[in-house]
Amino acid sequence: MSKGSLLYWVTNGSFSLIQQLSFKHPAVIATLGLPDTKALTTGNSEEMHTSDNLHVESSSKNCITAIEDLSPKELLKLSVMRLGKKQHEKAISSLKLALEKDPDYVRAMVVLGNTLMQEEMLVEAREYLEHAISKGGTLWFQDLTESPYDLLCPIFPVLIAGLHYVNVQISFRMISHRKLDSIFDLLFQLYKRYLDFISFFLLFVGFFMPQGSLLYWVTNGSFSLIQQLSFKHPAVIATLGLPDTKALTTGNSEEMHTSDNLHVESSSKNCITAIEDLSPKELLKLSVMRLGKKQHEKAISSLKLALEKDPDYVRAMVVLGNTLMQEEMLVEAREYLEHAISKLVLFGHPTNLEDIDLLILSSQWAAFVCIKQDDEAEGIVHLERIATLQEPADPQSKAHYYEGLLLLWSTLLKANRKEEAKKYESRLVAHDPSLSFLVELSEKEDDIVIDLVNSRRQDY
């Protein structure tokens, strides 16, 4: 199973465990009117110890006064100790004294009713037990041990069946619309129909189950519904790192999916509004997809829109500068590339791997634009910036780095600055021994070397 489904079942099981443990907590038991079996045991050592400390066997006046001063809870403990010693009459008197002090003490009513029942005092026992039941429960259900009854009895069964059906529809929403392309898809469809049928079965059985059990299934189904809806919220998906299935389609790349949804080929007003709502990062992806389709004008418009939204988006500047350079829009290309360089070196040489690679590329392309504008001096300045950087460890960045050094070396030769060019020869040959023939050739035929280097750069 997928990890998302496993995560759902783990959290669902955790909620069920928490729910069952909470039903054993005294506060929850008292609120819901559940019977506390711990209070119905006889011969409890703690209660005997408490009673012994009160010296209840004494018949002195001081002892009688002490018993009358006990709280209802202490009187209940005393009565349980007396029941353990078969002193039923004394236990009954202690319980009645506790109820005189607290007429709403349900636990004392239950113990007293049970004691009177053992003594065959059935009328009085029934009176106390029914009174205890009337004090417990909440809303329309008073006794959690009984099955649903009266006009409100369908509430729990309908809630259980409805929650189960809704949970099934949410869980199988994606699968229900899928074509039956394999045996697994067919099995999923059959399993979903089986679960749908279970909803009617739960509705029927709900009328014959104790209301305590029905309350458990209602809360369990509610937690499951909340959990499933939460896992579809973007904030929860992002926090847990779950895949957003809405953003994924089979057989298409992310960029193609975005483009198709936005209908970027259309020029309608609705399409333009949709593209304008994209984030700068999404606009960059869209522009890269358009460049792959040779739609340079549309790519340039997407990149400019990204920079309108985020003027400091360096990667968009570099890609836009390169695109404008390919379109021979040199003045504008140089402006964007040099602006990107100024952002990258604002606080010195960057240390981030991505920023280092962007600095190398933007410096190389800015130098190429300057050279095409017959501004070799400025182009050499941009290329020398690459030479001041340390050799990157990343293979792709390293390739860009030595491509810049090669262009610097050939540009210095063309500018007849051979002594400066010699400083980079050893580094180039050490990186690529095949360049040694260019170094030897440069001593005799500079123009041929420059042409070869430009050809190599264009191939790259």
pLDDT, tens digit, 9 for 90 and up, residues 190-246: 888 888 888 888 888 888 888 778 888 888 888 888 888 887 777 877 777 666 555
Q: pLDDT tens string for the chain (460 positions)?
A: 666 667 767 877 887 788 778 777 777 776 665 655 555 444 444 443 444 444 444 333 444 446 778 888 888 888 888 898 889 998 898 899 999 888 888 788 888 988 998 888 988 888 888 777 766 555 566 566 667 766 777 888 899 889 989 988 888 776 555 555 567 667 777 888 888 888 888 888 888 888 778 888 888 888 888 888 887 777 877 777 666 555 443 334 444 444 444 444 433 344 444 677 788 888 888 889 888 888 889 889 889 988 988 988 989 999 998 899 888 898 998 999 988 888 888 777 787 888 888 888 888 888 888 888 888 888 888 888 888 888 888 888 888 888 888 788 777 777 777 777 777 777 777 777 766 656 665 555 555 445 555 555 444 3
The pLDDT, as a whole number, for residue 213 is 82
Amino acid letter for position 143: D
Tell me which DSSP letter residue 319 carries.
Answer: H
Rounded to the nearest 10 degrees, the angle between the axes of helix 314-326 and helix 280-292 is: 20
Nearest to residue 261, comparing CAs of 282, 239, 240, 236?
A: 282
423 contacts: CB under 8 Å, gap ≥ 6: none
Nearest to residue 73, comparing CAs of 94, 42, 43?
A: 94
Q: Which two tokens stand for residue 264?
A: 């970027």
For 49-65, what is each residue's pLDDT tens digit? 444 444 444 333 444 44
For 434-444, what is each residue's pLDDT tens digit? 666 566 655 55
The CA distance from 200 to 400, in Å, is 67
Nearest to residue 111, comparing CAs of 37, 34, 56, 202?
A: 37
The CA distance from 376 to 85, in Å, is 110
Counting every residue written for the chain, the total comes to: 460
The CA distance from 234 to 253, in Å, is 21
The pLDDT, as a whole number, for residue 196 is 87
201 contacts: CB under 8 Å, gap ≥ 6: none
Q: Which two tokens stand for residue 453?
A: 């280097």
The CA distance from 393 to 126, in Å, is 87
Q: What is the DSSP annotation of 337-375? A: HHHHHHHHTBTBS--SHHHHHHHHHHHHHHHHHHHHTT-
The CA distance from 143 to 160, in Å, is 19
Rounded to the nearest 10 degrees, the angle between the axes of helix 61-68 and helix 88-101 is: 50
Q: Do the Cβ atoms of 224 and 12 come closer than 8 Å?
A: yes
Nearest to residue 152, comparing CAs of 138, 167, 169?
A: 138
The pLDDT, as a whole number, for residue 245 is 54
Q: What is the DSSP annotation of 216-251? A: HHHHHHHHHHHHHHHTTSHHHHHHHT---GGG--TT
Strand partners, 346: 348
Tell me which DSSP letter residue 1 carries.
Answer: -
The pLDDT, as a whole number, for residue 351 is 79
Please provide residue 309's backbone torsions phi and psi, each rounded to the nearest 5 degrees.
-75, -35
Rounded to the nearest 5 degrees, what angle is found at the Cα of 225, between the Cα atoms of 222 and 231? 140
The CA distance from 97 to 196, in Å, is 56
The pLDDT, as a whole number, for residue 169 is 87
For the chain, which residues make up each domain, given as ranges?
34-135, 155-240, 249-311, 333-459
Task: List the CATH code of the domain at 34-135.
Answer: 1.25.40.10
